[in-house]
Amino acid sequence: MEDGVKKFLYVNRKAPYGTIYALEALEVVLIGAAFDQDVSLAFLDDGVFQLTKAQDTKEIGVKNFSPTFRALGDYEVTKLYVEKESLDERGLTADDLQEITYEDEDDDWAEKPSIIIVSRSEMADVMAGQDVILSF
């Protein structure tokens, strides 16, 4: 790990449109990406709803920010941990989530998946391995 680089985890536990948490989290991630830290995102509980496919907010008059998750790779945010149990509890599978990829600069720009499905105990390990945890 380079000097001064810390591990930051943004924890997302809320559904996308009922409250402002999800959008605020995403904006903080995009702004924070300028600081060249080791950033990961965690999606658990209702947070997994943020990543579902086919969101269309036209008729509720708010911005659909789900496409913005696909831009995270450009910001070198390439680790999106999604909790399997949270998906299961909500009747979702990995196939219900949109595809999010990044281009690996160190591997001839090969396109790789950003979403990493983890168990609850693996998620606990991810959390325990961080320097800073920001909750939304």
Residues that bind other proteins (CB under 8 A): 11, 13-14, 21, 27, 30-31, 33-34, 44-45, 63-65, 67-68, 70-71, 74-75, 85, 120, 123-124, 127-128, 130-133, 135-136
Q: Judge whether 100 and 70 are in contact, CB under 8 Å.
A: yes
Whole-angstrom CA distances from 77 to 29, 31, 54, 68, 100 are 8, 11, 22, 12, 11
Residue type, 54: A
Q: In the bound complex, what is the minimum distance in angstroms from residue 97's beta carbon to other proteins? A: 17
Written as six digits, the tokens of 75 are: 């910001």
Q: In the bound complex, what is the minimum distance in angstroms from residue 105's beta carbon to other proteins? A: 10
CB of 5 or CB of 124, closer to other proteins: 124
Q: In the bound complex, what is the minimum distance in angstroms from residue 94's beta carbon to other proteins? A: 20
